[in-house]
């Protein structure tokens, strides 16, 4: 049985990845700060819960993980939607810690075991890493840094039996992402997805992640951009019916 370590596993894309991989026979290790939440999910999936803050992890935190075939760095998130001249520097620092430093420290803690297993690292960044948008300076900067980390790591692992992949999702509806971004303001969070016909779900992204994980060990997907049909680009979002019909 292969083992996957998944950060941000208490909700959203991370939780969906844990559930999807467990359903296809993987042993899953769930990493997140909310101990009670991941313990419940791990119990359902017969997995292991490790309540950790990814910004502070060390190798010693993973003594209970005997092998690691796959690391999914999914912990992160956005805070605020302010313009550069008024953005909170504290929010910027938090986003960098969660998205970039967390990915760095998780990679450093588990990289030797992943190489030994001839495994894979999948970093969940965002299409925000591909260019800026109004109010997105902090999140775009953090995701761009995570993207740069991923690209550098892939080159540094030349000559090693390990795959390094970046998954860049576009608009994904998850229960907490926008709610956290707007500090619990439900109206603002709801407005992000208003009128969008079938945004991606965490499960959609998890299916992409699982398909990459199940490829032969010599096949590397460098990067893959995943958007809903309603979103053709960063500024090409259709709000309204698309005329879907059941097949």
Neighbours of 121 (CB within 10 A): 25
- Render 129-183 in DSSP notation, one character per residue: GG---TT-HHHHHHHHHHHHHHHHHHHHTTTSS-EEEEEEE-SEE-SSHHHHHTT
Tell me the pairing of strands 48-51 and 163-169: unpaired
How far, CA to CA in Å, does 86 sit from each of 38, 71, 93, 130, 153? Answer: 35, 36, 14, 23, 33
Residue 208 DSSP code: H
Q: Of residues 139, 173, 193, 235, which has the active-site annotation?
A: 139
Question: What residues have CB less than 8 Å from 26, skipping those under 6 apart?
Answer: 1, 2, 3, 4, 70, 213
173 is catalytic: no
Asked if residues 214 and 21 have their Cβ atoms less than 8 Å apart, the reply is no
**32-40 contacts at long range (C-beta below 8 A, 24 or more positions apart):** 32/7, 32/8, 32/75, 34/10, 37/10, 37/11, 38/9, 38/10
* Positions marked active-site: 139
């Amino acid at each position: 049985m292969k083992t996957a370590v998944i950060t941000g596993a208490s909700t959203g894309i991370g939780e969906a990845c844990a559930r999807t991989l467990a359903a296809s026979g993987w042993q899953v290790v769930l990493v997140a700060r909310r101990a009670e939440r991941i313990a419940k999910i791990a119990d359902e999936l017969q997995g292991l819960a490790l309540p950790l803050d990814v910004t502070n992890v060390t190798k010693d935190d993973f003594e209970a993980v005997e092998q690691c075939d796959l690391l999914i760095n999914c912990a992160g998130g956005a805070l605020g939607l302010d313009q550069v001249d008024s953005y909170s520097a504290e929010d910027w620092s938090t986003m960098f810690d969660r998205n970039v430093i967390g990915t760095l420290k998780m990679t450093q803690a588990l990289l030797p075991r992943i190489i030994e297993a001839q495994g894979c690292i999948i970093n969940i960044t965002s299409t925000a890493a591909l260019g800026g948008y109004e109010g997105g300076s902090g999140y775009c900067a953090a995701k761009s840094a995570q993207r740069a980390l991923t690209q550098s790591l892939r080159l540094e692992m030349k000559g090693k039996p390990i795959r390094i992949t970046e998954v860049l999702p576009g608009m994904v509806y998850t229960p907490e992402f926008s709610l956290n971004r707007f500090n619990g303001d439900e109206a603002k969070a709801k407005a992000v997805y208003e009128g969008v016909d079938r945004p991606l779900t965490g499960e959609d992204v998890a299916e992409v992640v699982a398909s990459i994980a199940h490829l032969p060990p010599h096949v590397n997907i460098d990067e893959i951009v995943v958007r809903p049909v309603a979103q053709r680009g960063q500024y090409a979002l259709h709000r309204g019916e698309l005329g879907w019909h059941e097949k």
